[in-house]
Structure 1
Amino acid sequence: MPSAHSSSSASDPQRGPSGLQGGLDAVLYSSTWLALAALGLTWATFLFWQVHIPWRLGTMIFTATLFLYNLDSVLPYKHSQPVALSGRKSWMRAHRRSLFFLAMVALAVAGGLFLWDGWQHLIGFIGHLAVISLLYSLPIVKVKGRWWALRDFPLLKVFLIAYVWAAVTVWIPALYLHRPLLDPVVLVLFARRLLFILALAFVFDIRDFSKDKLIGTRTFPGVFGVRATKLVALAALVGAALLVPVGMPAQHQAVYLLPLLLAGGVIWFADESRSDYYFALLADGVMVVQFLVVWVAGMFLT
């Protein structure tokens, strides 16, 4: 999902990171970890309906996520912004060519699978998600002498992130399984996922608080304060917990609360001065935990 301080966990750029840390940085900052999270959430939706995820669809979701987030990370205007470089940003700047190459390969794979599986009849639905994702970071309108992307409109970016992630990880599996999007179970799953992602998106607004303030992007922390933003995020998690699909076994309901509780802890202790790893590894990692919980529940509690 798309730091302001240099007090990150990255090692001294003159010495370079250790092998283990270098590998971790590559997985996290190339958006591979995030793409795995997108795959995991999509897989979790299939598991809810007790269906195996088709490998081509899973690969398409994974590579499409890789493409979009790496394209975002190499946009020229983002590297000219007057902000202090965190370890994450420094790594991305040092590997811009590799990230661009990875994005292009991912696009080719995702596009090929899109055509192979015959998703063309849903080009309108999938296309609107692609447009939102691309225009999220690409400048589209000039406001007061500065080009704005969708993310620059006041208070908008967290809702865009939550909507696209929920649509991709819930609605696309539903369409694949020929389930109506307005089916009550699908709507509950979509709303639960949207609130879950929305809560986590607020964490990244907190991470980017100083950067967004410096470049003039009005986000929830900048307008209402960090503490109020955390309370709104926690309220979103409570809303997600209350949205229980009809027929879900009680033992599943209890286990499914674990990712929400972990997300609550990540939100409560979030601060822009924290390590890049806090956000890239833990905040995104909660989504991976969501998949693992659903998988374990399906294996042992059915």
Structure 2
Amino acid sequence: MVGGVVVALGLLVGATWQKIPDYPMLASLVLMFAIAWASATILIVNSVLRYGVSIASIAVLVISLKIEYWTFIGGIVGVAVAMLALWSVDRQYRAVCAFSFRFVLGGGLRIFLTALAIVFSFSYYGTIAERPVDASTVLPRNIFDIALRAADGVLQKQLPGFHRENTVDDTLAGLIRQQLAQNPNIAPNSVPSLETIKMELPAQRKEIIKNLNRDLGLSIDPDTSGDERIGAALYEASTKTIEPYLEPYVALVPWVMAISFFLALKTISVVYYYLMLLLLPALFWILQQAGIIEKKIVSAEKEAFELVK
């Protein structure tokens, strides 16, 4: 039963991995998968089955990702590292007299999370290596959108009324109206409405955008249509800024991106690690209270040195 849960979660993680940027809550599946794996290392008594579940869970994860050469290589490395994680847990479990989640599972959890980071990083490399390298490789649109959402507050200070879903004309009209409202020489009741400003924008849009680019260090295309989303316009401007610096290093970009991705995952895994150390004791307590598992005191043999009498 425990093994089936681990394998099923591995399948779910692989199937939903690509959707996490759009649906961040799906990242919790990775946490659940790691918790299930850690639980299985303790609860599955048969060592062959225990190792088999670890191998199968990584294997189905890899299969549910987009299968290609680098994902396959990452899967092999990931399985090897996951086996090392399981060996670490086994060794610590045999060494303790009083069970401690941190002592028994701590090292293994770190290694297992590293195994997952390796699999995902190889898969990511395979994805970007098979297509031409351009600015969108370095700055994917979904990542840019996440950053733009996070920066809404800062951008609104520079561009009053800014919202990433607004059109270019909506944003410009809001900015112009804000500036007019702040002008002490213009009476508040004389400030034109947004609709009035938008009607007059086509004739002045190019000049306004040029001034914005100069004042705010942006690279928005002055010839952009007013109906384009401001988020799309900013993304296009950002990629145009990146491209001249990218060209000399095209061959290195996939490797640099994959390594950076791995390091980012390792950083995130620190949060997962401590969450797991908090959640695992709670999970085992619930399982105990539900009568699903029990805690026993068993005798164990161990090697020791003593003086010959």
TM-score (norm: length of structure 1) = 0.33
The structure number with the bigger radius of gyration is: 2
Structure with more contact order per residue of length (Cα contacts < 8 Å, sep ≥ 6)? 1
TM-score (norm: length of structure 2) = 0.32
